[in-house]
A = this chain, B = another copy of it.
Amino acid sequence: MNDRRTVFKTLRDLSIRLTPQRILILDILRKGNTHMGVEEVYSKARTTFPYIDIATVYRTLNLMKKIDVVTEVAIGERLHFELTHPGRKHNHMVCTCCGKAFNLPPEYLERFGEQIHRDFSFEPDVRNFTIKGKCSLCAEKSEKSDSTYECLSP
């Protein structure tokens, strides 16, 4: 599992120091319970730790990514991260209209990836896989209200 205890042990085992900043950032990701942008992590961190620097956030996230404690997720143009899911890896569907992201169960990609591997000898990395499109809510709204509904990317 990805509870604090296990993560802390991982870090200690790798002689990676447990600083308040790192703990805070990991806790924010855990509580958020989804992928978050760097700016989002940063601003949340500042509410409890006003002097934290965004460089620290970047360094921490990159470090945690390297040791696979967090996973980088390709959402939008900027970096997003989430706590690495312990067992099966899920993927994301991002609405280009409202920006929300939805999780996609792993079976989908597994089957899909196997087929690709069979047909092209290409080994897809199922971790970094994001589908863009329009969520049901936005699709509905934009149908009804004839473009009075605003999209992020029109």
Interface, chain A (partner B; CB < 8 A): 74, 93, 95-96, 102, 104, 108, 112, 115-116, 120-125, 128-129, 131-136, 139
B129 touching A131 by the CB < 8 A rule? yes
How distant is A113 from chain B, measured CB to nearest CB, in Å? 8
B134 touching A125 by the CB < 8 A rule? yes
B108 touching A93 by the CB < 8 A rule? no
Q: How many copies does the complex hold?
A: 2
Q: Roughly how many angstroms separate A133 CA and B136 CA in the complex, as a whole number?
A: 29
Task: Give 28 A-B contacts (CB < 8 Å), ordered by A residue.
Answer: A74-B74, A93-B116, A93-B120, A93-B122, A93-B124, A96-B125, A102-B120, A102-B122, A104-B120, A108-B112, A108-B115, A108-B116, A116-B131, A120-B136, A121-B139, A122-B131, A122-B133, A122-B135, A122-B136, A123-B133, A123-B134, A123-B139, A124-B131, A125-B131, A125-B133, A125-B134, A129-B131, A129-B132
A140 nearest CB neighbor, chain B only: B121
Q: Roughly how many angstroms separate A78 CA and B138 CA in the complex, as a whole number?
A: 28
Q: Roughly how many angstroms separate A104 CA and B122 CA in the complex, as a whole number?
A: 11
